[in-house]
A and B are shown apart, each in its own frame.
Chain A
Amino acid sequence: MQYKSQAVAKPYFVAAIGLFVGQIVFGLIMGLQYVVGDFLFPALPFNVARMVHTNLLIVWLLFGFMGAAYYMVPEESETELYSPKLAIGLFWIFLVAGALTILGYLFVPYATLAEMTGNDILATMGREFLEQPLLTKIGIVIVALGFLFNISMTMLKGRKTAISMVLLLGLWGLAIFFLFSFYNPHNLVKDKYYWWWVVHLWVEGVWELILGALLAFVLIKVTGVDREVIEKWLYVIITLTLVTGIIGTGHHYYWIGAPEYWQWWGSVFSALEPIPFFAMTVFAFNMVNRRRREHPNKAAVLWALGTGVMAFLGAGVWGFLHTLAPVNYYTHGSQITAAHGHMAFYGAYVMVVLTLISYAMPILRGRAANSPRAQVLEMWSFWLMTIAMVFITLFLTAAGILQVWLQRISTAPLSFMATQDQISLFYWLREISGVIFLIGLVIYLISFFVKGESRVGAQ
């Protein structure tokens, strides 16, 4: 560890992994509810489990991003963090607020929670992914501003690299576009239109800047390739990302009441969205092939390459599958969407955070890399989780194709629930894949506790 204050990243990473486990457990519960409908009902209705599943995902990724920034920015800026105390304080505020929110979801009826937390003053709740009570949303903004202040001040007093600039831009964008979560017009079309300014402009916009910065940082460290080379490709890739992704928002505007030209604008630009993801994959493999050193942390290299491949498959290929308006007309709001969502989130954001954790955590614990035994275990967890996610995606895709056929294309369309009964086999297979994912995750956790000395000392 080059700077003492980088250590504040550690609790963020620990919290991220802890919440990740929670997310997967709730995912498995939901997967079972898909086939055993009354499982845990009425103690845990599906909508509550889903809210917990998706909100935990967002929160743990945010913990991951913040931890990554606290780790990376001092090293990039070549100076200590502006205020480690603020970072630790915000960590506890965010963790407690997050935990209280989840407990609120689980133990208070949602309508009561809304009343208790000021939803009558400003109604923002009850929209997908933005279910958080008003107080939590305000808390997120405060934490984000404190965090951005801390990171920006650190950068201002030190070296300004392309990687830290891109990271900072992504993080500021994240905070700014989150403000649209406070805008909830009565007009449902406008509500949906601007809802995507949070959701799409996050995951297919500013978050990709964060993704690119994290990946570039780890690639510089593990390959020893010139910063200059990596940074200029980073700029090129994120340019392609935003060129295609901003107007690509239009692929969400086909059927929600927006004007129909979005079918063309959205199709044309989102058809190009796989390109930056493909470029990122080629970039990651190229840099590793041109490596000038053998970094002892093989697991981190594996995660970095995996991020490139899986982000391309999940976001690029599975996104393209249903992004063209004539296709989307039939697939919109089906299990195809769920398949894409799962692999894209895992491949892009879960994996990049795990890449950074894999690289940074050993250093935060005083060694350049974990022992070979621990790394082998970590790589097992990589393959188990990744392959399980591939199968989850394939089974959901199969379910989606059947669903679209039975419910929307066939000459004698079945009702929604009749269709669900027909495709339950695939939901069972998805659930089995989910169990394998959990096994992979448990092995991942164990890998942190495997002893054995690393041959290389701390850097």
Chain B
Amino acid sequence: MWSFLFKRLLHMIPLLLGVSLLTFLLMAMAPGDYFTALSQNPQISPETIANLKAKFHLGQPWYVQYFYWLKNILHGEFGYSMAYKIPATALIFERLWNTFLLSFFAMIIAWGIAIPLGIWAAVKKDSWADRGCSLVAFVGLSVPDVLLALLALWFAAATGWFPVGGAQSPIHDLLTPMQQFWDCAYHLILPALVLAAADLAGIMRRMRSCLLDTLRAEYVTAARARGLGEGWVIYKHALRNAINPLLTIFGYSLAALLSGAFIVENIMAWPGLGRLTIEAFFAKDSYLVVDCVVMATALLVVGNFIADLMLAWSDPRIRLK
């Protein structure tokens, strides 16, 4: 078991190397760099630009740049953001925290609503409750993230009940810790809801179908035949088996939340990793782009890793392999 987990962690290294290398290559193939735009500016002398380029190794081939970047990583540094003019490490971790916050709460909302609803729909199969849930899920699956985010923005602007962007108020630093907490929650709620809505429908439908499958299983009839109460049969015997496939999709769901977060972050002006990546990409802030992509990959792999751990915890047949 532990050696398996260790192996899984080791597998992350070549994956992250490959992803960073590919990103570097793609960035290098795109014409121009961060200073191309600056060189149009008559106030900046060509010497200054040449000096800066040399400082960031931009004049050298991409693989040399890659090795400089890799050397920094091994020293625990993510290089330097040319656009923000600060070390990328601080920038990345601040944004990563924001994205994590958003994704985490979106996930809690999505799973917290979807799982009970899915169970309810399965237990009350073919009732008005089940049909109502199906209808909501159908709408949820059909409406794209982009539209939902725009609608949420319009709602926030029209009612004034929610902020139209950002993660904090301008006066955030002046508030007491308790007020800061509520300020964060207030800014978080709308983007988290939008992000959760996209995932909710799918999880709910899957929970429903998984539970319906296990409710048909012979061990459920056998449990009933032993005289167990219906609640015990559903929540102990059926549900413990029905959640296994959901744990598997938990990892994918984390990834989906991160990629979904790209869109929501950009539309709703949430200062997360997704928005940073896109900004860095347009500014050709190449080291920052690679950092962001590597971070997103790492989160994805960690998400799958967590899903594997949970699956092993839940299903003894997997634990022993």
A binds B: no
Which B residues have a C-beta under 8 Å from some C-beta of A?
none
Interface residues, chain A, with chain B CB atoms under 8 Å away: none
